[in-house]
Amino acid sequence: MSHEIVAVDIGGTHARFAIAEISDGEVVRLDEPVTLKTADYASLQSAWDAYGEMLGRELPRSASIALATTIIGDVLKLTNNPWIIQRTTISQILKVDRHVLINDFGAVGHAVATLPDTQFTHLAGPAESWRNKAVISVIGPGTGLGVASLVLGKDHYHVVEAEGGHIGYAPLDAIEDAILSRLRQQFSRVSAERVVSGPGLSVIYHVLAAQEGRSVVALSDAELWTRALEGSDSLAAAAFERFCLSLGSVAGDIVLAQGGRALVIAGGLGLRIAEQLGQSGFMSRFVAKGRFQHLMETIPVHIITHPQPGLYGAAAAFAQEHGL
């Protein structure tokens, strides 16, 4: 018997909604998603109501909601989003009978576990499947830096939600020392996601400009990323190369800390930079772990290519929790 739910994926910048169908413990359908800017809505409830109005139909009375925050306590404050969500009122304000709350990269972990191999592409490292690995690390830069891990058993899997994007940023050369110094002017503690995230490119860009004595025009993060990936701005392109180095360093640290035997890169930004990432210094930094370089060289790295792993994974998490 199939069951419809509303799958929701709320990050720092966007809230995504889609109707999903679950049958026999699997996600068998994910409708075209609707993406709303969180800045345009005062709360989850107002965005939920707007989504229902856009569809022009009554929404299912079940929901699985992925949130860019740790799911602890009754009051949830998103890390890079002003919305505040009170867990005890969700059923009432959204008019649902059953719901699941999950960390956004926990949801991506469920997607990694349940999507078919056709939704992944090999990026670097040994060209082998990660399906036979006991522990898979999952990482993805976006508005922040999402991290999770996936533990695979013979007939089951378990997702470990984490906040690995908030480990301390560890510079490895003089340029990264300068990046850390600039960020310390704003923050008492500098986490990895201050650099390895969408907004982090701007930080790197301004540090490189200062080192070269160049003035720069004010650019939005979106404009800067476009210039970097198009190669139309040499300084932006240099900042992107430095971003890839830092992503490699952090991803390698995460894999070592989690005991990962494979790495999956996820998220819209990860997919957007996939081609350039494989040609960058990402992998040289990923494996550069001193006495454990030989171990890191055995780690396959894949990118998830499904356009909405957060929504798909949220639906999969609902199926797992409710046994549908």
Q: What is the DSSP letter of 198?
A: T
* Residue 13 among known ligand-binding residues: yes
Residue 226: how many CA atoms within 13 Å on its side-chain side? 5
* Residue 143 among known ligand-binding residues: no
* Residue 10 among known ligand-binding residues: yes
Q: Is the distance from CB of 34 to CB of 47 less than 8 angstroms?
A: no
Q: Token pair 């990269």 is at which residue?
A: 105
* Residue 8 among known ligand-binding residues: yes
Q: Which residues of 212-245 are buried (b: 16+ CB within 10 A; e: fewer)?
A: eeeebeebebeebbebbeeeebebbbbbbbbbbb
* Residue 9 among known ligand-binding residues: yes
3-state secondary structure of 95: coil
CA 60 to chain centre: 26
Using a 10 angstrom Cβ sphere, with 0-12 exposed, 13-18 middle and 19 or more buried, the burial of residue 2 is exposed
Q: Which residues are annotated as a binding site for ATP?
A: 8-13
Residue ranges for the binding site? 8-13
